[in-house]
A and B are shown apart, each in its own frame.
Chain A
Amino acid sequence: MPYPVIEDAIEIKNVFKRFGDFEALKDVSLSVKPGERVVICGPSGSGKSTLIRCINGLESHEAGTIVVDGITLEHKGSALQQIRSRVGMVFQQFNLFPHLTVLDNITLGPIRSKKLSRDQANDLAMTYLERVKIPEQAYKYPRQLSGGQQQRVAIARSLCMEPKILLFDEPTSALDPEMISEVLDVMIGLAESGMTMICVTHEMGFARRVADKMVFMDQGKIVEMAPPSKFFDSPNTERCKSFLQQILQH
């Protein structure tokens, strides 16, 4: 009798990445189970963004393996395309398509890569726009929306691909303070619905509330990895302790 195997949603093993002389990732390993919420924090230049950009192949890693939903990431063949249709990503700068309406921004992916009909895609898009609470903005252009609304459109765009995993790359860092909470509310809702999420963020209130696992990175390495209760109350390393003091002070 074979044991039932619970496959990791993401398995990163001994990954290295360099940009010229700069080593962005040094021997990073991390596994994420289905439904798990991981929050990655650390000082700038620590490799946290590079790490999640490696997961959907926006950066190529030099050594080590990345397996996403059972597919080994390779920068040739169809593996990359398959992974990208299972992994959504939300960017710091939103990266909406400025020449398309909100609705077209959201339906472009499903129509072209999942071959949905326009009607099906529109219905799906409206469902997700309601979920991020801006269905009334469907026919506007991105530049007519506030930053917070734009980021929520970007989240709806990712969701409309019906991904198994969502990556967030500092989703609130480019937002005015009063718009941060509307985006975090949407992210908390997603976390509670059981979505597998990896978030690079410095929103520690959010992290404490939804994270199953906290990861602290510094100089291309994972320095500390722990459940939030332990992570915030008694971090093992001095580096992590001083970082947390810095960002929690304000």
Chain B
Amino acid sequence: MKKLITLFLIIALLPGCSDDWGWYVVNPYNKSGLINLKFLLSGYYFTLLLSFTSIFISVIVGLLVALPGLSKNPWLRNFNRVYVEVVRSVPILVLILWVYYGLPPITGLDLTVFWAGVIALALSDSAFQAEIFRAGIQSIDKGQYEASHSVSLNYRDTMRFVILPQAIRRILPALGNQLVYMLKMSSLVSIIGMQELTRKANELVVTEYRPLEIYTVLVLEYLALILIVSAGVRWLERRLQADERG
């Protein structure tokens, strides 16, 4: 992994030594370069806030949609199927545009760009979360429910203390994937003017006319972010597994 990153850096930066490249645009050692670099990095704030708010909401919505999918009642199961199929078939970009331009006139809500982005991302992701939770819960042995019933636990307590703690350990790698996916998809919200990483880069390109250098920085920004988040998820996985081993 480290070798790959180094290789990438060399390939990206070496040509910059020639006259055709203009790294001055983001060079922290000159004044305007430092200002530009800080401007680009400030996009992290909304990228992180947007992604983490969205995934928080989508995990909760996903769980609430997954549970009816496991019910014996066919109506509840159909609700789950329809929700998942409908939401899953709309592209995220289309959903963002629709929520931002379509939802306010229909509902009378006054949506900020941030909340429109959160709703669109959370909605889109919740369908995937629902499928992940459903698979995770279904993978738990039937005997766990029977043992819970035999000590007189009700449905809520069975889910809360027995089934979900085991299911979440199993689906943690999938949840980690969704988090990474969400961090990347948040770049699409730039289209409605959200001041996150991608939008900042676009704006700087328009004023500085240096797309190659600026978008290279953008790539590195996402790369750094996602490598850190992935490492965090793996650490959490290991810790929870260690818990189980005692």
Interface residues of A (CB under 8 A from B): 56-58, 81, 84-85, 87-89, 91, 93, 95-99, 101, 108-110, 112-114, 140-141, 143-144, 154, 157-158, 161
Interface hub of A56, A87, A110, A112 (most chain B Cβ within 10 A): A112
B227 to A: closest C-beta gap in Å = 30
Number of interface residues of B (CB under 8 A): 21
Contact yes or no, B150 A89, CB < 8 A? yes
With A91-B143, A95-B144, A97-B162 already in contact, the answer to whether A158 and B244 are too (CB < 8 A) is: no
- 10 pairs of residues in contact across A and B, judged by CB atoms under 8 Å: A58-B150, A81-B154, A88-B150, A91-B147, A93-B143, A95-B144, A99-B169, A99-B244, A112-B161, A141-B244
Partner of A141, one of B149, B150, B161, B246: B246
Residues of B with Cβ closer than 8 Å to A? 141, 143-144, 146-147, 149-154, 157, 161-162, 165-166, 169, 243-246
Most chain-A Cβ atoms within 10 A of its Cβ — which of B141, B157, B161?
B161
Complex alpha-carbon distance, A161 and B150, angstroms: 9
In the bound complex, do residue A97 and residue B246 qualify as a contact, i.e. CB atoms below 8 Å apart? no
> Contact: A101 with B246, CB < 8 Å?
yes
Complex: chain B residue closest to A112, CB-CB: B157
Residues of B within 8 A of A143 (CB): 244-246
Residues of B within 8 A of A161 (CB): 151-152
* Contact among B146, B151, B245 for A58, CB-based, below 8 A: B146
Tell me if B169 and A56 are in contact (CB < 8 A).
no
B72 nearest CB across to chain A (Å): 11
Complex: A18 Cα to B144 Cα, angstroms: 23
Is A158's CB under 8 angstroms from B245's CB? no
Q: Enumerate the 7 nearest inter-chain pairs by beta-carbon distance, A residue then B residue, closest first.
A: A109-B151, A95-B147, A95-B143, A141-B246, A113-B152, A89-B150, A85-B152
With contact pairs A112-B161, A143-B245 given, residues A97 and B154 touching in the complex (Cβ less than 8 Å) = no
